[in-house]
Amino acid sequence: MAKSIKQQLFSGVFYTALAKYSGVIVSLVVAGVLARLLTPDDFGVVAIATVIIAFFNLLTDMGISPAIVQHKSLTKRELSNIFSFTIWTGIVISLLFFAASWAIADYYESEILRTLCQLLSVNLFFASATIVPGAMFYRNKEFRFIALRSFTIQVIGGIAAVTAAFCGAGLYALIINPILSSILIFIVSYARYPQRLRLSWGLTAIRRIFSYSAYQFLFNVINYFSRNLDKLLIGKYMNMSALGYYEKSYRLMMLPLQNITQVITPVMHPVLSDFQNDRERLAVSYERILRFLAFIGLPMAVFLFFTAEELTLLIFGDQWMPSVPVFRILALSVGVQIILSSSGSIFQASGDTRSLFVCGVFSSTLNVAGMLLGIFYFGTLTAVATCITVTFTINFMQCYWIMYRVTFGRRQFRFLIRQLLSPLALSLLLAGCLLPLQITLDGTHIFLSFIAKSLLTFSIFGLYIQLTHEYDIGGVVRKAVQRLRKAKKE
């Protein structure tokens, strides 16, 4: 059984990573082109519309998707009833968002924002309609198909956005990708898992998963404000340009976070939910993943801190230089966030969404307090970034305290500390080596500076991993060479 679980995790992560990292190239190209064609004001306006629609999207999902993955005994009729519920609520909430567009535009004193919100209401409906057929892919562990679907649609949406930008669509080019992607994802998902639409609201089936989905939904709501209130307030009380710079810094910080954790966490819940009645086995399995994430995330935070200027200039161009100090501060939180983002899958897999909700309440309260302090007391983007970085660190500690004490039922934290000590030592070693290199390369061409810092980082990382026997890189290389020689002889 253990081998089967390991194989499922590896297969899921492999196919998800293949699509995700191929998609990174596409997203970077698209982001780089649009950043040079559009202004910070354009990105600021679209950021507001995207943040607001994300909230309405939470109202349509209501924690239903992970509940379908967790409840493996749902019948076809119950799934059809849940599908009908998402369709009807999707229509209602899409119309509410469309109607709210006038109030949103008046609040931010931006007429174009009204049109953007009205167009994005289409996205809202199709996202809601995709919930049930989309969740079926994860419940049945069809990670290969999910990866292929995601990458193909990302390429199509990226091409459409860039083409529109070159044709003079302006900031409308920024919303073409999400709208088109939501429509295509629904078409593909529904074709694979067609559901019968019923005239009823399907409340009987909803009640069956309510105890699980309710806490998930409440967590999603408070987590939304924790993640997005800063953008809403900056857009209102500073200006759209400031929001554009902040959003670009935040997006750049989230790029490695999303492209690492979103490769692993979507696989964790469907696979590890098989251990929901064996908490000890779930804990041991997760600690291996946690250690792996720590070895990636903590050194990456150091690397991003020292290459903040190079990355911003290489990807977005000179006009985004004001984003550099903000990105450098936010980069310090990347390691903690990469580890922390996997915790939700464990709470879900164990069926303990109540603890997930409790963690979310504490985290959101602290994050919101930090945002308010940075915006209204200090009044600078760097202060907001600093406050957010501090709150993420505190939230990390409280989240794992609850996980170990309540979800796993473990009273000792040496199990957690043991997974973090070696990655922390590697990160400090990297910082000690990159600091003098940063001073030495001051004034050097950004491309050469980035290459030098990258080579040093990867060299130290590889040597540390090999010498501490965390991973036998040399053994893997030798086996690969042996396979090649054997293949040539045959």
Residue 472: pLDDT above 70? Answer: no
Last residue of a domain, one of 206, 237, 268: 237
Q: Are residues 16 and 163 in the same domain?
A: yes
Residue 390: pLDDT above 70? Answer: yes
DSSP percent split of the chain into helix, strand, coil, nearest 5: 85, 0, 15
pLDDT at residue 226, as a whole number: 77
Q: Are residues 163 and 99 in the same domain?
A: yes
For 113-123, the pLDDT digits (tens) are: 888 888 888 88
Number of domains in the chain: 2
Q: Are residues 317 and 220 in the same domain?
A: no
Select from 229, 245, 213, 200 the least CA-distant residue to 41. 245
Last residue of a domain, one of 237, 269, 293: 237
pLDDT at residue 22, as a whole number: 58
Q: Are residues 343 and 427 in the same domain?
A: yes
Q: Are residues 223 and 255 in the same domain?
A: no
Q: Are residues 268 and 143 in the same domain?
A: no
Asked whether 59 and 93 are in contact (CB, 8 A), the reply is yes
Instruction: Give the pTM.
Output: 0.68
Residue 105: pLDDT above 80? Answer: yes
Domain that holds residue 79: 1-237
CA torsion sign for 198, 202, 204, 206 is positive
CA torsion sign for 416, 342, 55, 370 is positive
Residue 85: pLDDT above 60? Answer: yes
Over range 67-79, report the average pLDDT. Answer: 82
Confidence band for 2, pLDDT divided at 50, 70 and 90: very low
For 327-357, the pLDDT digits (tens) are: 999 999 999 988 888 888 888 888 787 888 8
Percent over 90 (pLDDT), the chain? 18
pLDDT at residue 10, as a whole number: 56
Q: Are residues 378 and 320 in the same domain?
A: yes
Residue 21: pLDDT above 80? Answer: no
For 196-225, the pLDDT digits (tens) are: 888 877 777 777 777 677 777 777 778 777
Stronger pLDDT, 259 or 249, i.e. the higher one: 249
Residue 14: pLDDT above 50? Answer: yes
Q: Are residues 23 and 109 in the same domain?
A: yes
Q: What mean pLDDT is reported for the chain?
A: 81
Over range 14-27, report the average pLDDT. Answer: 59
Q: Are residues 281 and 146 in the same domain?
A: no
Q: Are residues 344 and 394 in the same domain?
A: yes
**Terminal C-alpha separation, the chain:** 35
Q: Are residues 323 and 460 in the same domain?
A: yes
pLDDT at residue 7, as a whole number: 59
Last residue of a domain, one of 221, 237, 253: 237
Over range 463-477, report the average pLDDT. Answer: 75
Would you list the DSSP string of 135-168?
HHHHHTT-HHHHHHHHHHHHHHHHHHHHHHHHTT
Record the tokens describing residue 38, joined without a space.
């559009």
Q: Are residues 386 and 430 in the same domain?
A: yes
Residue with tokens 């940063």: 438
pLDDT at residue 204, as a whole number: 78
CB within 8 Å of 57: residues ≥ 6 apart: 124, 127, 128
